[in-house]
Chain A
Amino acid sequence: MSVGLDIRLKRANKVYHEGEVLAGVVVISSKEAVQHQGISLTMEGLVNLQLSSKSVGVFEAFYNSVKPIQLITSNIEVVKPGKVPGGKTEIPFEFPLHAKGNKVLYETYHGVFVNIQYTLRCDMKRSLLAKDLSKTCEFMVHCQPQKGRLQPSPVDFSITPETLQNIRERVSLPKFLIRGHLDATSCVITQPLTGELVVENSEVPIKSIELQLVRVETCGCAEGYARDATEIQNIQIAEGDVCHGLPIPIYMIFPRLFTCPTLETTNFKIEFEVNVVIVLQDDHLITENFPLKLCRV
């Protein structure tokens, strides 16, 4: 006898905002009637912080995970112990989304050292003989649109051997001139990152031009803080020896879940940067870094 337990949210995209009501149904499907000791729903919003092994020792990282921060939690009993009749039973539920105390509901974010995640779990307790059933479902929270006008703050850039830092032998560097601009460094998260890039000239043919989206996560803890930059995605915008003088579009869509509006709290920070990476045929790697500020409007 198999019992199916499922949670279905009303919204297809599973995106909710603070103050809204998370609504849906618990679906129990079974051929025969199901005896149970009560069905409950738990909604929880957590920030998980993790220290990277780079900033602290490996063991420390393993044990010393920072305590998760609870943003929201709520538990209700949907059905009292009893029997659910056979067939498909749908039990509607609603949760108001209100943060605990004076906390804010941060936007859902899946990172490496910081994870902000909202889950809804349904548990069906059963008698000793049968296993308890449980079903978890993640839902997304988008933070409230930021107030105030957003300054796009565009940026022009020009990359030549002279502008580079961090090089070993400046002499061996081939000549090149790459110009371009980003339309905005304060980006709306739902809008793509746009701009243009022109290879004006390059002594050595270009192999590839890429956009690297990087997250910079900072976790504060008792011993200070750890700041780590990791790659989210790498988008190639040019392959091969592109036409000189012809503007190549810079275009990158911010991936969902893996990005969120730039966030700064007392305990942790989430920031984003984009690197324009130019790889030359002789495997020289030229990177230009631009900090981004993401927000939601």
Chain B
Amino acid sequence: TSHEVFVQLAPIVLFPLVRHSRVRAYESELRAARLEAVPLEPGDPHPLKSITVRRCPLQAVTTQGSTSSSSSSGSVAPDPLSSMLDGTDPLSMFAAASASESGRKRREKEEEVGPDFEPWSAKRGEILARFTTTEKLSIVSEKIHWLAPNSTVSEKVRNRLEELDDMEEGSQRELLNLSQQDYVNRIEELNQNLKEAWSSDQKVKALKIVIQCSKLLSDTSVIQFYPSKFVLITDILDTFGRLVYERIWSMCSDSRAMPESFTADDVNDTAKETCLNWFFKIASIRELIPRLYPWQLGCTCHIFIGIQETLPRLTAMIRGIGDPLVAVYARAYLCRVGMEVAPHLKESLKKNFFDLLASFRQIHSDSVQNQLVLQRVEIPVYLTLYSPAINWILQCVSYRAPETLLTEMMERCKKLANNALLLNSVMWAFRAEFVAARATDFIGMIKDCDEAGFPKHLLFGSLGRSLACADPPENERLSILNEAWKVITKVRSPQVTQIKFVDFTKREVNTVLADIIKHMTPDRAFEDAYPQLQSVIRKILNYFHDFSVLFSMERFLPFLDMFQKDSVRVDVCRSIMEVFIKHQQEPTRDPVILNALLHVCKTMHDSVNALTLEDEKRSLSLLINGFIRMVSFGRDFEQQLSFCVEARATFCNLEPVLVQLIHTVNQLAMETRRVMRGNHSRKTAAFVRACAAYSFITIPSLTSIFSRLNLYLLSGQVALANQCLSQADAFFKAAVSLLPEVPRSITVEGKLRSSEAFLLDFISNFLSTLLVVPDHPEQGVLYLVRGLLNMVQDYTWEENSDAKVRVYISALPLLAAMSQDTYLYAIPKVDSNETLYGGDPKFLAEVNKLCETLIGQVLDHLKALGRDEGAGVRKQGTLAFSLFGCLLAHGDLRNNKLSQLAVNLWNLSHKHGYCDTRNSVRTLEYIKHQSQQPDMAHLSEMALRLSLQSRA
């Protein structure tokens, strides 16, 4: 039984030994442990070499048969990383799967439409959010005039028509007084109906729903809602288009696989016939708009039968729509379909736009005016309804369009008496560079616009937006600003501030800011304009990355002061800091920047209160830390330290900032050491002591016990490196005395975790530092180690935990290392115990005694574990094995007693068969290998006594 083993063990342990630990020759061991270095011939193939491209003359290829892949010119062996990426990256595979539903369409699109084309889907949400109404809406389902039914139509047609009639009876009704939400729901319902009808093979019913929906688009009764209505209904149309496309596609691929890029010739007859059927059906719809939309939709299917003329024809057909709003949205839809189906057919897009211009005066026609009066809609509001559609059309037309086309379009727009609405859209949709280059022209045009229809500040806003993306010519900048500002000063609307500062110098921005302040301060107007003011700040920040310039503007800080609402203020500060961290490349000591940013950071810091979320605190701390890291006074270390002192006072509520400050100060000390090349003068010695003092008094204010422990250790190490022995001692002592306070569980990322693993980590780290810490002359031998071990002993470990014993086992290597003549590592200019004691036998005896005590403790624990069958026995085996490993590595096994102990431990660990056999085998091999080394012959003898226990 295990009990007997311990009876045997006991006397051995107590036997006094001169030196338990074997003598180590660290250097030779290190040398032996290194991998063999093989000299490399220049011609040898190297596994890493194939990644680099080598250009060799082509003739050389033939001479090197086997290594040609690495040396042939131009052929690059696959880089393992890139080859992994271009294959089947699981993420892109998902994306590809979802894209493949209309693979062909997409593929074609990609050729012409790059990712820089803002898709419709991006606009959708914006339109829906922007155009809302509280008016009551209605949905009218009217009878649809199909081909006139005849008395002797064929059976099939008759059936279809009957089907239609049935449908109509059910749905021919008028839904009045719908709220907007009801309306949206109703349309969604129609969408569902459509899908259902389609899947239940009622294709005609589906088409009928589509026609009904399209018909809704000709109704402009609640005109403010029209853009949103358009979006909702085109969603349905899209659904239908997809369904038809898929159906015809599946008909094509029924018989044989379709080639990836097919033409009308590849399509089989059945599919063509079906397509034509749809086509004829749609072409015979009586009313214009219900015919137009499905027809446009049909474009997607026209690839099956050829499409060339369809788009231009549809473009022309839209001319027949009298209502300008309905027409412009129909055009937008056509452009959208056009971009999707055949982006190379630019001509029709262009024609679309010119048609739009030609019919532009319709907007001011009597019928429109009457309608507006009837609906009590103001002209400016009405005009904004056009923006999404015109913007979209212009975007499509101008997408990758040559300069000449843009110029032509501009000219045409100009001819229309500088219509403000159009101008606005042009500025939105055209390339920013284009607009920027003609900024003066635009300003002129804006000035010429009549104020009645479209507010001018919106125009300036759009212009500013374009100028934000591209710079206008240098020499025009000032005049642009002046011109713009003249108008802006007249309008006391907060929106004016949308104007962009990108291109202006400091002085001008300063003036602008001053102006804004002047505008905003009366009546506290700024309170209503926070978003706009914020965007001003953002734009300034986009341009001014040089913070010394930024903060030297005398109006900037007063401008910041306008943000008086706390949340907004913090947001602004935050964005300033973000830009600072992103763009500040070099550490700075500029007092202007420091003062201003300190102020900004303080604002952020002061926003922290008891209710602030952890995340919020964390992100604020990150920003402030970024700032602190960027502060450097160069060689003026004392000023840096005083900055840290100031910062500590300012940011006392944010723990991560304090941690950062301690790190900064530690770094400062190390920097001082580097500058002095390790030889501190009296002055620098005093300075590093001051640094240590800073850390020492800052650490206790932290709440997180582990950051405290780690910082004590780190600062102790720094102090030690700087030869501040008493400070280091103080740090270590503080760490040791803090240990009992470590709670048994801590919160990590919101979860309660056992702190044991952290604690073990820390103690191991601590122990390895203690090797070089010299004993205090007034304290006993190894008093820090003892102190630490005492704390470990007294600490209330978790129940049934081996942690304490593990610490003991890990302390053994330390003690072994301490009893060497030359230590594994040392700190320059600090005498470790090796020098202090010089291998004094008394010291060694102390160490040995300590080892014995530790081993005794471990053995006691092992014994205790043995009493508990099951889990205890398993733990016993593992612990025994690790102690065995420790003895094997560090113990002097020539000592018979010790080797007997080792053998006993081996047996104990194998007794219950819980040990890992592979591990044992490897250990045994290691022992045999070691026994080949000089002075290690005794190991072979021991190896014979270690038997691998087969699991019985």
Contact = CB atoms under 8 A, between A and B. Distances in A.
Interface in A101-153: 110-112, 115, 117, 136, 138
A243 B288 contact: no
Interface stretch (A30-38, A86-94, A173-181, A246-254): A246-254
B366 A205 contact: yes
Interface of A: 11-13, 48, 50, 110-112, 115, 117, 136, 138, 205-206, 209, 230-243, 246-249, 251-253, 255-258
B895 interface: no
B150 A240 contact: no
Nearest 6 Cβ contacts at the A-B interface: A240-B322, A238-B320, A12-B269, A243-B359, A249-B316, A236-B288
B154 A257 contact: yes
B150 to A, nearest CB: 6
Interface string B344-384: 00000000000100110110011100000000000000000
Contacts of A117: 154
A232 B322 CA distance: 25
B321 A238 contact: yes
A240 B317 contact: no
B367 A239 contact: no
Nearest to A206: B322
B321 A239 contact: yes
Given A234-B286, A246-B319, A255-B280, A240 B152 contact: no
Contacts of A256: 280
A241 B319 CA distance: 11
A89 B925 CA distance: 79
B153 interface: yes
B565 interface: no
Contact of B150 (A110, A138, A209, A242): A110
A235 B358 contact: no
21 contacts: A11-B269, A12-B272, A48-B152, A110-B152, A112-B152, A205-B366, A205-B367, A230-B148, A235-B284, A236-B320, A238-B321, A240-B322, A241-B362, A241-B365, A242-B320, A243-B358, A246-B319, A246-B358, A249-B313, A251-B316, A255-B284
A138 B320 contact: no
A-side interface mostly? strand
B323 interface: yes
Nearest to B366: A205
Contact of A248 (B151, B291, B320): B320
A15 to B, nearest CB: 10
A253 B320 contact: no
A64 to B, nearest CB: 16
A252 B148 CA distance: 16
A253 B280 contact: yes
Interface residues on B, range: 35 or more
Given A13-B269, A110-B152, A232-B148, A209 B280 contact: no
A115 B286 CA distance: 24
Contacts of B317: 237, 249, 251
Contacts of A138: 154, 156
B148 A233 contact: yes
Interface string B142-159: 000101101111111100
B624 interface: no
Nearest to A210: B286
B300 interface: no
A240 B284 contact: no
B283 interface: yes
Interface in B748-807: none
A230 B147 CA distance: 12
B289 interface: yes
A243 B147 contact: no
Nearest to A196: B316
Contacts of A237: 288, 317, 320
A232 B157 CA distance: 14
A243 B273 contact: no
Given A12-B269, A205-B366, A253-B280, A238 B322 contact: yes
Interface string B878-916: 000000000000000000000000000000000000000
B270 interface: yes
